[in-house]
Amino acid sequence: MKIAFVGKGGSGKTTLSSLFIRHLAATGAPVVAVDADINQHLGPALGLDEAAAAALPAMGDRLPLIKDYLRGSNPRIASAETMIKTTPPGEGSRLLRVNENNPVYDACARPVELDGGAVRLMVTGPFTDADLGVACYHSKTGAVELCLNHLVDGRDEYVVVDMTAGSDSFASGMFTRFDITFLVAEPTRKGVSVYRQYKEYARDFGVALKVVGNKVQGEDDLDFLRAEVGDDLLVTVGHSDWVRAMEKGRPPRFEFLEDTNRAALRTLQNAADTTYELRDWDRYTRQTVHFHLKNAESWGNARTGADLAAQVDPGFVLREGVTADV
């Protein structure tokens, strides 16, 4: 299952995504965690110290390797240099799977040991002073989008992505790459404003969107969220002494997370697992092609000097069971 956590800055989306990752790891499920946020806080939220978090390999810096591997022997892609973030897979492309070893994971992923198991962590890399004025952050998250376009995941396998704050992910097609999106919202007008944007933008693309109310302190907060987001409100989370200790760098064992918050995490997993039965790989592939053609016409053709529409393999549908080039 591919799962995104979104929300405005400061909503607690990184904290909640890290708790969900810990919960999945405790069940023994294979998990790939991806930090696609410009602020790169997921590593520390999973317990890495500052030095270990800073040493994580940046996907954006390894984009040539990622492209070269995923291209495989696809005859429609003349070179790795002509691949862009939206390039879809086709016959001959190499695909990624959650529970495997491959050169992309070797280069970009690092194991993070948690109480109940381990996860693979991948990060886009920080936005540095050298990028200011000359680079767009989407040049870094493009590596994530390209990997998601080539990722085949099955039941009880999880890819959890901590996304950029606000509605910034709509600058690309990455918002359509997920089985379900959890929008973390505080019970404030600003907290639900991102929800309204996401709901509007995602409506035409069949994006499954559920709201996780965070920092909910009482019935008044709950009533506010119910009035603002209606049936999209899935669950709420309140104060957590466990989280407070984690944010100080002294988390107790995960088994001691409060019962109410553990129940909330189970609710998130159940919601994600339910969407598995609703998967439509044909639509998923069509959306990949849609955004690729849009990006090709807008900037990709001019940037690469190639007709990127020719990269589309009309007979290829990404789905479980499809074989990859080796």
Regarding pTM above 0.85, the answer is yes
Number of domains in the chain: 1
**Cβ(245)–Cβ(259) below 8 Å:** no
Output the pLDDT for position 201.
Answer: 85
Q: Which residues contact 41 (CB under 8 A, 6 or more apart)?
A: 14, 35, 162
Is 204 within the bounds of a domain? yes
Instruction: Please enumerate in sequence order all residues whose Cβ is within 8 A of that of 298, keeping only pairs 6 or more positions apart, or say none.
Output: none
Asked if the structure places residue 321 within a domain, the reply is no
Domain annotation covers residue 320: no
- Does a structural domain hold residue 325? no
Q: Describe the crossing of helices 219-229 and 189-202 by its angle, rounded to 10 degrees.
A: 30
| Tokens, residue 222 | 């709950």
Residue 251 lies in a domain: yes
Q: Quick one: CA torsion of 46, 263, 253, 162, rounded to 10 degrees?
A: 0
Q: Is residue 268 part of a domain?
A: yes
CATH of the domain at 157: 3.40.50.300
Each residue of 62-72: pLDDT tens digit? 999 999 999 99
Q: What is the pLDDT of residue 293?
A: 97
- Classify residue 191 by burial, with Cβ atoms within 10 Å: 0-12, 13-18, 19+: buried
Angle among Cα 99, 100, 101 to the nearest 5 degrees reads 140
Dihedral sign, CA of 199, 201, 206, 208? negative
Question: Which amino acid, residue 234?
Answer: L
Task: Look at the chain and count its residues.
Answer: 326
Residue 24 resides in a domain? yes
- 232-245 tens-digit pLDDT: 999 999 889 999 99
pLDDT tens digit sequence for 27-70 = 999 999 999 988 889 999 999 998 999 999 999 999 999 999 99
Residue 126: what pLDDT? Answer: 64
Residue 303 placed within a domain = yes
Please give the average pLDDT of every successive group of 10 residues along the chain, which has 326 residues.
Answer: 91 94 95 92 92 93 96 96 96 96 97 90 73 48 93 96 78 87 93 88 89 93 95 93 88 91 97 95 96 95 96 96 66
Residue 168 lies in domain: 2-311
Phi, psi of 237 (to 5 degrees): -130, 135
